[in-house]
Chain A
Amino acid sequence: MKTAIASNGDKLQAELGMKFGRCSHFCIFDSESDQFYFASNLGHNINGGAGRLAVTFLADNNIKQVIAGEFGGQVKQMLSNSGIRIIIYPPTSKCIDDIIKLLKQ
Chain B
Amino acid sequence: MPRPKRNRTILSPPICKGFVPIGNTLKSDSGIDLSLEEFESIRLCDYDHLNHAEACQLMNVSRPTFARIYESARQKVATAFAEGLPIHFIGGKYSMSENWWKCNQCGSMFSSLAGEYLTKCVVCSSTNISSIHNNAANDECICQSCGAKLKHRHGQQCRQLYCPDCKQPMFNRRNARMAL
Contacts and interface: CB of A to CB of B under 8 A. Distances in A.
A89 B48 contact: no
A73 B123 contact: no
B88 to A, nearest CB: 19
Interface string A71-89: 1111011001001011111
Given A67-B108, A80-B97, A74 B123 contact: no
Nearest to A76: B11
Interface in A77-105: 77, 80, 83, 85-91, 99, 102-103, 105
B122 interface: yes
B66 to A, nearest CB: 12
Given A73-B50, A76-B11, A80-B97, A90 B108 contact: yes
A73 B58 contact: yes
A85 B112 contact: yes
Given A80-B98, A87-B122, A74 B108 contact: no
B146 interface: no
B54 interface: yes
Contacts of B114: 83
Contact of B50 (A74, A85, A89): A74
Contacts, number: 67
Q: Is the interface of B mostly helix, strand, loop or mixed?
A: loop
A65 interface: yes
Nearest to B54: A74
Given A72-B48, A76-B11, A90-B107, A85 B122 contact: yes
B70 to A, nearest CB: 13
Contact of B111 (A74, A86, A105): A86
A90 B124 CA distance: 13
B144 interface: no
A85 B11 contact: no
B123 A85 contact: no
A17 to B, nearest CB: 14
A-B pairs with the 5 shortest C-beta distances? Answer: A90-B107, A76-B11, A72-B48, A87-B110, A102-B124
Given A76-B11, A87-B122, A89-B107, 5 more contacts: A80-B98, A86-B111, A87-B123, A90-B108, A99-B123
27 contacts: A65-B110, A70-B15, A70-B47, A73-B43, A73-B55, A73-B58, A74-B48, A74-B50, A74-B58, A76-B11, A77-B11, A77-B58, A80-B97, A80-B98, A83-B113, A85-B112, A86-B98, A87-B108, A87-B110, A87-B123, A89-B107, A89-B108, A90-B15, A91-B15, A102-B106, A103-B123, A105-B124
